[in-house]
Copies of this chain bind each other. A is one copy, B any other.
């Protein structure tokens, strides 16, 4: 399942059979006191592994650096520009296509990457007509969150190191989650943050956007299993279209 441990003599026919490559991508980014800098990478990786099992795909090595503009000034964050990210992803996609893959699922653990992933997928869409590229970020989550949340969301589209993300970590990577240090920090995000460049230090000192203390493995499970089901369904459907 892990592409990196395959060898060149045997991999060719496996690619032709499986057809699907999954790339975990996340970021190195501040995630409060209770979650590691690599949280988004860990999540992307674990999601990818679960997904790969469901659809008999290869998991590529994680691309561990992402676009971290909003939190770039927080200790530990490493930021890659959209341009760099798009460029690397188009290169990887081009190689995957030439190697025989026909479906590429980028499983993204960091919302800030999403615009670059979309752009890279569009470039590849114009280059290779029979190459299907997905850029997944927890499909189906919005519906689930209504059930799961005990606290109100602080923002309509993003969540970070909070009840939600910590729950997902508890389910997927409990060993990297330190609930003893979990905090509740509910920032007041100004409406203008959606309409003018606003680094997050303007409204939070912790990078925790909510109440991480309320996180549970069960909440995480619901979100993750829904996302996995939805991703698997889309990949299966894409594979059916090829065959």
A61 touches which of B6, B38, B77 (Cβ 8 Å): B38
Q: How many copies of this chain sit in the oligomeric assembly? A: 6
In the complex the two chains form, what is the Cα distance from A64 to B135 in whole Å? 20
Asked whether A99 and B81 contact (CB < 8 A) given A156-B142, A196-B132, the answer is no
Asked if A6 and B76 make an inter-chain contact with CB atoms under 8 angstroms apart, the answer reads yes
Q: Are B99 and A77 in contact (CB under 8 A)?
A: yes
Cα A6 to Cα B230 in complex, Å, equals: 32
Q: Is the CB of A135 within 8 A of B95?
A: no
For chain A, residues 86 to 128, give those with C-beta under 8 angstroms from any C-beta of chain B: 87-88, 90-92, 94-96, 98-99, 115, 118-119, 121-122, 125
Q: Are B134 and A195 in contact (CB under 8 A)?
A: yes
CA of A121 to CA of B11, assembled, Å:
30
Greatest chain B CB density within 10 A among A61, A72, A134 is at A61
Choose one: B4, B41, B125; the contact of A4 (CB below 8 Å). B41
